[in-house]
Structure 1
């Protein structure tokens, strides 16, 4: 009986299998982000950095509730902007058994009601009985909010109740809110908006937070990143880089400004990385240095 030489067959099989794009390749890393300026900026930055390292990365813009659901069901791998211990506490408490909370990369984040510095008020309490000054809630001279369902909007609804304010909170978007702020600012008209720090608008306009003596918005937060369960075991190198990541007002502010002013977030992130290569390389090299 003639023996069959299997080596050419096995060789052809291995070449075909290994050459197939999806045979052993990992799925793209899916980064979920809500439509806030700093989330857009850092998500595009990390997409660029990880793609430089050979990873495929997909960005998925979703609302905050869907972001947490996606992490808990493995539909999303990473979320780079999680405010703790206050702003995202309700979402985190609901999903904490199914997601991993990691290191903070920005310290002292804040949110609340913001007005131009030229306005002669300093506290949320000063808004009481002045609703007529800000129009009827249908113009840009009202309390201009962002997307419905965000933690900031929920806190602002509670603040309106806590301070007994006779104001309508307008559901809007970050872009529309900034447009209303810009329009009022250029005419030196009164305007109150829901805002947060870090944000590039504080570099462009002279603004101030209204004091919050009743602590409706809570204490300052830190910004963390989260991952789905098991991400660190599958991508240990990426997790090490993210744990080494740290930004302050100058570095994050410059990134946000670059992304905002560029023709696209991708271009802005790419330009910022090129100008801040030592900082970025420090995140990527810190774990390797620690292991030596």
Structure 2
């Protein structure tokens, strides 16, 4: 029995909520986000709401959020989703529901053993002189940068071109494939540089560092004169910052109690990293991890609901 179903025994009667229509929460293609959405689902169901989890593309989901076909997205990362979020909010059909408690870093990352092969790291300019050290048989003599799934965005191809790096961007098909390749390379001390993000277990389990690119600014993404290459944009680091919650604007009118819960709901980086580790490394199910979190945080959850 899921935590959500078990909790219904103590939840208010369904008749007490504003609508029994299902609140549709989106899920994407990485473990932490699905854990996050599942916990919020359990919280809402404990409050008596009917919910559904709906698989959706990270950026393309905004089409459904604007129309009300989808209702809640629990993770929009400052690092990769801010532009899409701001555009959607500007239409008036999507509402920013506040910070979700998590603080994001997404950037190029390499294992520490690569510093002997590429002196000057983590400074990005070292990559100009040793791109071949990151080459594979498919990309040689160019280095290979292993990016996240294409749906994650991130402007890696644009940055490679803007900074004149002799790297080919190759996208992993899934979150699991991305970190499976890191595991394989790390065990063999094989060359690798790839997209790593936090909160996640990878930067804790493995010894390595993020590349230090020119500092991020909003202007760097918009004005070629704002950073190191006067003829290109995206020639800087990715942004870092909060992970936001967003919702269809109609949520607050149709389910005002749920909207308040969603605004109150937060997780910490430490909680998320531990839960992702439990799923990806220890083999626990997402449902079991969410149920354990609910049981350990009953007082907090009741405060959000009441």
What TM-score do you get using the length of structure 2 for normalisation? 0.77
- Unmatched segments (≥5 aa) in structure 1: 1-20
Tell whether the 8 Å contact from 1:81 to 1:225 is kept in structure 2 after alignment. yes
> What corresponds to 1:234 in structure 2?
254
- Rounded to whole Å, the distance in 1 between the matches of 2:123 and 2:277 is 28
> Does residue 163 of structure 1 match 2:197?
no
- Rounded to whole Å, the distance in 1 between the matches of 2:238 and 2:132 is 28
Which of residues 233, 239, 257 in structure 2 aligns to 1:219?
239
Larger radius of gyration: 1
> What corresponds to 2:290 in structure 1?
269
**Pair 1:171–1:286, CA change in 2 (3 A):** closer
Paired residues in the alignment total 259
Give the C-alpha shift of residue 122 in structure 1: 0.9
What TM-score do you get using the length of structure 1 for normalisation? 0.80
**Quick check: 95-104 or 119-128, which moved more?**
119-128
Give the C-alpha shift of residue 196 in structure 1: 1.5
Tell whether the 8 Å contact from 1:111 to 1:196 is kept in structure 2 after alignment. yes
> What corresponds to 1:200 in structure 2?
201
> Does residue 100 of structure 1 match 2:95?
yes
Tell whether the 8 Å contact from 2:199 to 2:270 is kept in structure 1 after alignment. no
Tell whether the 8 Å contact from 2:278 to 2:284 is kept in structure 1 after alignment. no
Give the C-alpha shift of residue 286 in structure 1: 4.8
Alpha-carbon RMSD across the aligned residues, in angstroms, is: 2.4
Structure 1 stretches of 4+ with a deviation exceeding 6 A read: none
> What corresponds to 2:80 in structure 1?
87
Tell whether the 8 Å contact from 2:23 to 2:51 is kept in structure 1 after alignment. yes
- Unmatched segments (≥5 aa) in structure 2: 1-14, 116-120, 217-235
Q: SS at the partner of 2:125?
A: helix
**Pair 1:31–1:109, CA change in 2 (3 A):** same
- Rounded to whole Å, the distance in 2 between the matches of 1:273 and 1:160 is 43
